[in-house]
Amino acid sequence: MLIDTHAHIDGEEFDDDRPEVIDRAKQAGVSSIFIPNVNLQGVDKMLQVCAQYPGYLYPMVGLHPEDVDANFHEALDALEQLLVDDNPFLAIGEVGLDFYWDTTFKTQQLEAFETQVQWAVKYQLPLMIHCRSANKELVEVMEKYRSSALTGVFHCFTGNEDEARRLLAFDGFALGIGGVLTFKKSKLPDVLLHHVPLDRIVLETDSPYMAPVPHRGKRNESAFVLQVAKCLAELYGVEEKVVEDTTTHNAIKIFKKYPFLRS
């Protein structure tokens, strides 16, 4: 049993063959796919796609840092309304900080991220965190809430030893590991092997992005999470089933609503 904890399967890239993509995921042993939200406009479609595959696709809700603009307060207000009362969301996400391409809305990103961290505390949901070129600022925000029993995933971790240490200092969090692990020049295998125990890892694809070898350069999809699991098994010198069982257990421990929504 594998869980793809981060896949944008609601994206237009899958509009022409989503049923086939999901069939391939099931054949590869993927038992569930978790879908991050990125903006207010995408919520309805994400929920519609999830409704077509009940018990298999599970939504999150949040404002992605690259979607933060001058009107982010209105977007956040509307998104928070979706969390009131009973809601189907597994987590607050995809949220975080991204200063790689553009820092025009750096201040707004910081405020939006902290607001959504507060949602995680208020609604007792885990965080699905995106961070790019902003590790220092991200940790500074999260330090304020260290005593709040936060849990979640640092999505698409590709960092160094120091970044892994800083992130794993937040006990309730795991690192999301995907296709980058399989890249020939990736330094990630060495960082994981020497500094990250398997019980702090969850699997993800971030599909349609960053497909693993041997599919690199093509559209990624949830079935390919199996390649990531195989690579982790080889890296840690364990059977594939150990990776499957451990990463699935890690995901269930973080996404506490998952087994209840699934049953």
Residue 263: both structure tokens together: 């049953």
Q: Cis link prior to 94 (omega < 30° from 0)?
A: yes
Local structure of 188: helix, strand or coil: helix
Domain that holds residue 168: 2-262
As a whole number, mean pLDDT of residues 80-104 equals 95
Q: Any idea what the CATH number is for the domain that residue 84 is in?
A: 3.20.20.140
CB-CB contact of 203 with 5 (8 Å): yes
Over the stretch 191-234, which tens digit does the pLDDT of each residue have? 999 999 999 999 999 999 999 999 999 999 999 999 999 999 99
CB-CB contact of 95 with 113 (8 Å): yes
Residue 197's pLDDT is 98
CB-CB contact of 7 with 250 (8 Å): no
Side by side, which strands form the sheet with 57-59? 2-4, 30-35, 57-59
DSSP, res 84? S
Domains identified in the chain, total number: 1
C-alpha 216/C-alpha 83 separation (Å) is 37
Rg of the chain in Å (alpha carbons): 17
As a whole number, mean pLDDT of residues 122-146 equals 96
Residue 168: both structure tokens together: 């794993």
Which are the contacts of 102, defined by CB distance < 8 A and separation ≥ 6? none
Q: What pTM was estimated for this model as a whole?
A: 0.97
Residue 98: both structure tokens together: 């991204």
Over the stretch 163-183, which tens digit does the pLDDT of each residue have? 999 999 999 999 999 999 999
Q: How confident is the model at residue 85 (pLDDT cuts 50, 70, 90)?
A: confident
Q: How many CB atoms lie within 10 A of CB 184?
A: 6
Residue 147 has pLDDT above 90, yes or no: no
Percentage above 70 pLDDT, the chain: 100
